[in-house]
Amino acid sequence: MDNLQLLGVQTQRVLQRRMETAANNLANVSTNGFKADALLTEVDSRRPARSVDLPRDVRFVRDVGLSRDFSQGAIRRTGEAFDVAIQGEGFFLVSDPQQGTLYTRDGSFRLDAAGQLVTKDGRNVLNAGGAPIVFDPQGERPSIGADGAISIAGTEVGAIGLVNFANPAGLEKVGDNLFSAAGQPTSNFEGAAVQGALEGSNVNAVTELTRVIEISRAYESAARIVKNGDDLRQRAIERFGRA
């Protein structure tokens, strides 16, 4: 495979990954607490292509992973007693049967039949000690404070676990809008819990749509480069054959 094909194919591969990332962001524009992703790229140090003519330095770009934008999403009021948004930095603690303690920004909670506070997917919301939160509202509307403490008629009956991380970008996305600590220790929560509200996605739909259009055009250009190279090669072979 010559340099033209190598460049074209590698460009298409990176653009495909960029498109997948942008499409996933768009698909989650209405997902509570979702944080937008961006593709990270770097110059490939292996330099798989060489040229006998100038310029001899043929370089490739490759994707190396995703970066995540943890900026605050818009907070909207719902009035629901068990909807909780985080203002500022921080995460809720939830339990997963297979992966243990995970973290999320999605605070759309509810009480199940056993009186346990759970996520909309049925995972247990945990307190700061990593235990499930269980209580009986006794017909009263619970009050959730800025520190996550849950009170009924003035008596504290539990507290939602809220933590932070020194390097949120180092968290690992594991699906279902959840993150793994990836070995990082937690730090003290310094934000504020807001009852009766949910944090929206921080995806900018207009920006992502514009990005999708730009990527599509770039991909078409790369495809033309590969096709033009194939056509030139085919014509050269035909001419050599006639000679």
User: According to the model, what pLDDT value does residue 23 have?
Assistant: 94
Distance CA(137)–CA(63), nearest Å, equals: 50
State residue 236's pLDDT score.
66
Q: Please state the rounded mean pLDDT for residues 144-164.
A: 96
The yes-or-no verdict on residue 164 having pLDDT over 80 is: yes
**Separation of alpha carbons 41 and 43, rounded Å:** 7
Query: What distance in Å separates the CA atoms of residue 195 and residue 84, rounded to the nearest whole number?
Result: 5
User: Does pLDDT of 55 surpass 90?
Assistant: no
What pLDDT band is residue 227 in, cutting at 50, 70 and 90? confident
Query: 50 or 63: which carries more pLDDT confidence?
Result: 63
Q: Does residue 93 surpass a pLDDT of 90?
A: yes
Which helix (H) or strand (E) covers residue 84, if one does? strand 84-87
- Which of the residue ranges 139-143, 170-174, 236-240 would you say has the lowest mean pLDDT? 236-240
Given a cut of 70, whether residue 241 has pLDDT beyond it is no
pLDDT at 124: 97
Query: What distances in angstroms separate CA 74 from CA 27, 151, 203, one per listed residue?
Result: 17, 26, 10
